[in-house]
Amino acid sequence: MRAVIQRVSHASCTVNGEITGQIKQGFMVLLGIEDSDTDEDLTWLAQKIANMRIFSDENGLMNKSLEDIDGNILLISQFTLFAATKKGNRPGFTRSAKPDFAIPLYEKMILELAKLTGKKIECGIFGADMKINLLNDGPVTITIDTKAKE
């Protein structure tokens, strides 16, 4: 699994002109899933996201977590995070999991993040043409790959 975490002042997802999820301060998370991902990867990544301390404290240091600032999460499925770009100019997506494998893990991630944060996780719609609007705060953008956790 790969996640791109952006610290945002606000973020929203719109599908066909309808807002499917929106948050004020918190994380906008793009989540990519590949066939080799496991429940262990999901649990590890969810804990990393929920406990990430990238909000400024009173000294301007990144020491505060989502819980500390009462922040929220907008979670967006993003198969393009596994784009293969080594050959040619058109990316390939063979490493990205197919929907029958990815959707259940995406849904488990929503539940796991909700359990860890005690909050409703705002979302996009898996596989939809989504329009994401956000104000990156900082900017602060963190990438995490579960295959690089060791």
Q: What's the Rg (C-alpha) of the chain?
A: 15
Is residue 97 helix, strand or coil?
coil
For Cα atoms 104, 98, 52, give the angle at the middle one, nearest 5 degrees.
55
Smallest Cα–Cα separation from 96: which of 112, 107, 84, 111? 84
Q: Is 80 a catalytic residue?
A: yes
| CB count in 10 Å sphere of residue 85 | 9
Catalytic option among 20, 80, 85, 141: 80
Catalytic residues: 80
